[in-house]
């Protein structure tokens, strides 16, 4: 959710405070060689990191311009991958290469080559990296998180204002929840307890949002922290006015979800996640069809990658 390595929302700032309640994470500091790799044109992976099949099927690179070798950092990345059972989701600081799913199925990294490929292939990561000054680039961190097949309809975004949990919303606004409405009250209660006991005080900020995942099992539900980020309502299904009103009326946290097919919307994140043939569905017919399946409970496993 947040990129700046100096931000209070950077994983290095809050991970030590929430151990055991978030997904396994390893942090690897970038090196000058990595910065050079990100700065050069094209995607050239050193043959040291490529699979043998790739080496056999590709022409040898020009020896006069060898690909960059990440001496030292490559060993650190490999060790981090090993600790997470070689099944990882990759970020640069807090920026995820969501648009690189076409380069690596599920964005599931198991080798150093995978890590380098998705970070370099991503326009989102590339933009974040390129606009940063030299000092910021040098302080960046490659974040490896244990990869899980998450059901996106169990991801929630929570909004904190003035230290108060003001609202809980559906994280992905592209489908209707299949659960009965009474279940959402249980979600609200358990997420509120999670905020009070785990999240509150984990970062040095009075206004922010955080994402959680509700593990599917009988109540009380197991809650997992995904990430933190700055408060921003531009792309959300709740407004600042609604959250302020909930606090003023003593009804916080407000719970807001997609309840009808007509409320489903497609935003930049969803267009990066859905298959290419669905992107461009201007009338929303395909998106509504997926929503109907989710509502009927017949497509619960139609989840996409965890972001």
- Asked if 238 and 262 touch (Cβ cutoff 8 Å), the reply is no
| pLDDT at 167 (0 to 100) | 96
| pLDDT at 258 (0 to 100) | 79
Mean pLDDT in consecutive groups of 10 residues from the start of the chain, 307 residues: 68 91 95 96 92 55 73 96 96 92 92 96 95 93 93 90 94 75 82 95 93 81 91 89 95 86 56 39 47 44 35
Work out the number of other CB atoms within 10 angstroms of the CB of residue 111.
16
Cα–Cα distance, 307 to 148 (Å, whole number): 10
pTM for the model stands at 0.76
| pLDDT at 277 (0 to 100) | 37
User: Which run of H or E residues covers position 117?
Assistant: helix 112-121
User: Which run of H or E residues covers position 142?
Assistant: strand 141-146
- Asked if 54 and 271 touch (Cβ cutoff 8 Å), the reply is no
Place of tokens 């009808």: 260
Cα–Cα distance, 77 to 117 (Å, whole number): 13
Q: How far is CA 4 from CA 1, 94, 115, 203, 262, in A?
A: 10, 8, 20, 15, 36
- Go through the chain and tell me how many residues it has: 307
- Asked if 109 and 101 touch (Cβ cutoff 8 Å), the reply is no
| Residue 296: both structure tokens together | 């009927």
149-185 pLDDT, tens digit each: 888 888 999 999 999 999 999 888 777 777 767 777 8
Strands (DSSP E) contained in 25-78 are 25-29
DSSP string, 157-206: EEEEETTEEEEEEES-TTS---S-HHHHHHHHHHHHHHIIIIITTSSS-S
Cα–Cα distance, 116 to 101 (Å, whole number): 13
Q: Which are the contacts of 194, defined by CB distance < 8 A and separation ≥ 6?
A: 21, 212, 223, 225
49-76 pLDDT, tens digit each: 987 655 444 555 445 578 999 999 999 9
- Asked if 36 and 138 touch (Cβ cutoff 8 Å), the reply is no
């Amino acid at each position: 959710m947040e990129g700046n390595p100096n931000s209070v929302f950077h994983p290095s700032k809050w991970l030590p405070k929430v151990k055991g309640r978030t997904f396994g994470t390893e942090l690897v500091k970038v090196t000058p060689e990595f910065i050079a790799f990100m700065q050069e044109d094209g995607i050239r992976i050193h043959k040291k990191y490529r699979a043998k099949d790739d080496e056999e099927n590709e022409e040898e690179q020009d020896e006069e311009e060898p690909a960059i070798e990440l001496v030292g950092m490559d060993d650190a990345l490999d060790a981090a991958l090993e600790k997470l059972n070689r099944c990882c989701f990759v970020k640069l600081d807090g920026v995820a290469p969501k648009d690189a799913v076409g380069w690596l199925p599920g964005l599931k990294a198991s080798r150093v080559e995978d890590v380098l490929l998705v970070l370099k292939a991503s326009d989102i990561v590339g933009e974040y990296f390129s606009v940063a000054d030299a000092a910021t680039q040098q302080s960046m961190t490659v974040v490896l998180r244990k990869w899980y097949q998450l059901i996106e309809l169990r991801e929630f975004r929570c909004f904190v204002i003035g230290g108060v949990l003001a609202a809980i919303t559906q994280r992905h606004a592209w489908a209707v929840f299949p659960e009965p409405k009474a279940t959402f009250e249980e979600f609200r209660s358990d997420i509120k307890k999670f905020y009070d006991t785990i999240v509150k005080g984990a970062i040095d900020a009075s206004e922010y949002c955080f994402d959680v995942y509700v593990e599917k099992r009988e109540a009380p539900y197991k809650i997992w922290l995904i990430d933190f980020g700055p408060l921003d309502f531009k792309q959300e299904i709740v407004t600042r006015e609604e959250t302020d009103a909930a606090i003023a009326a003593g009804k916080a946290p407000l719970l807001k979800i997609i309840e009808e097919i007509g409320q489903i919307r497609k935003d930049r994140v969803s267009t990066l996640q859905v298959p290419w043939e669905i992107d461009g569905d201007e009338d929303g017919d395909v998106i509504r069809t997926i929503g109907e399946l989710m509502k009927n409970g017949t497509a619960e496993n139609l989840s996409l990658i965890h972001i």
